[in-house]
Amino acid sequence: MQNEPLKPSDAEIIRQILDGYINAFESLLTRYRDLVVNIVKKHVPYNDMEETMQDAFIRIYQSLPTFKGESDFRQWLSSIAVRTCYDYWRKAYRSREVPMSSLTDKHQNWLEEVISDQSEQSLYERGSRNEARELLEWALGRLSAEDRMVLELVYLEGLSGKEAANLLGWSVANVKVRSFRSRKKLQKILTGVMKG
Amino acid sequence: MKSIKREHHVRLKEALAVAYREKEKAEVGELWQVRVMGHIRSLGSLYSQTSYLGLFERFVWQLVPVACVLVLLLGVAVTQLDLISDYEIVKMFMEDPADFSLLALYK
């Protein structure tokens, strides 16, 4: 039985790219495509996902000379992907291209049902409903790009302040303060949705 | 207006977190990868970019000793030469305009 050829390490591929062998980047692209898809799809609308991923990989390529190899490459690459998503929202909010769908009674009903229901199982089912996603998108659309990103990373994904700070390139204190404020803002927005 | 009680925040957070995770499955195809690689190739090699930068840096650093010598020479020249500024010429003229002549100044 023949042994499979050893795959080159990330460091070897990076060295090849820096030596001028552009096609070696395709190996990194294939290796980390799914990781970047999983990051980008959580933060960016489906229609803009491919373009944002392309932007992320171009930034990764252009930033390769600055990668010193001291940190984990996956972590370094993830932080570029997250910052590309953050830039996407900054640009979208500046040009006022954030979709602002309107809410209906079914969204209000969903919110009140979630708050009143006691069953954990039904909580999961309720979270999977379309109304939940629409309401969440609607509420996030009313926050700034900074609040949105920190809320998604800390409040919805459950990352620690330090992890979110590493991904966004902010200080831990900044992430904690913004996380607290953005959570309050979200609660205020959702309280406003509830019927009087 | 109703308010959301503290204990309900946890339930709401969990439901919203489920909604956040339950986004549609997303994949990108081979065509996307071909397009990205095409774009990357159009950007050119990083080697030439980094080497140009390196050459520029080396060139700048080679000029540093020359710049230091020039600063020293200029410093010596300023202290040794008896330079008269425009301000001093104007001041002399204003104080004694009758006797003032440009030739007297350079005697």
pLDDT digits (tens, 9 = 90+) for A144-190: 999 999 999 999 999 999 999 999 999 999 999 999 999 999 988 88
Cβ atoms A61, A25 nearer than 8 A: yes
For the segment A2-52, what is each residue's pLDDT rounded down to a tens digit? 556 678 888 899 999 998 899 999 999 999 999 999 999 999 988 899 999
ipTM of the modeled complex: 0.78
B1 chain-A contacts, CB cut-off 8 A: 191-192, 194, 196
Under a CB-based contact definition with an 8 Å cutoff, are residues A142 and A89 in contact? no
pLDDT digits (tens, 9 = 90+) for B21-74: 877 677 788 899 999 999 999 988 876 666 666 667 777 888 899 999 999 999
The answer, yes or no, to whether residue A70 has pLDDT greater than 80, is no
Q: Read off φ and ψ for residue A72, nearest 5 degrees.
A: -70, 130
Q: What is the pLDDT of residues A141-156, one digit of tens each?
A: 889 999 999 999 999 9
Burial of residue A187 (number of CB atoms within 10 Å: 0-12, 13-18, 19+): middle
Report the 10 Å Cβ neighbour count for B79.
Answer: 8
Q: How many residues does chain B have?
A: 107
State phi, psi for B96 to the nearest 5 degrees: -140, 75
Chain A residue numbers with beta carbons less than 8 Å from the beta carbon of B27 are 37
Question: A132, B3: Cβ pair inside 8 Å?
Answer: no
Alpha carbon of A170: minimum distance to chain B alpha carbons (Å): 23
Alpha helices, DSSP H, located in chain A: 10-18, 25-43, 49-63, 73-94, 105-116, 120-127, 130-140, 145-150, 161-168, 172-193
Q: Which residue has the higher pLDDT, B42 or B4?
A: B42
For the question of whether the overall pTM of this predicted structure is more than 0.95, the answer is no
Measured distance CA(B68)–CA(B87) in Å, rounded: 29
Which chain B positions have a beta carbon within 8 Å of A133's beta carbon? 19, 22-23
Neighbours of A10 (CB within 10 A): 19
B13-26: average pLDDT: 81
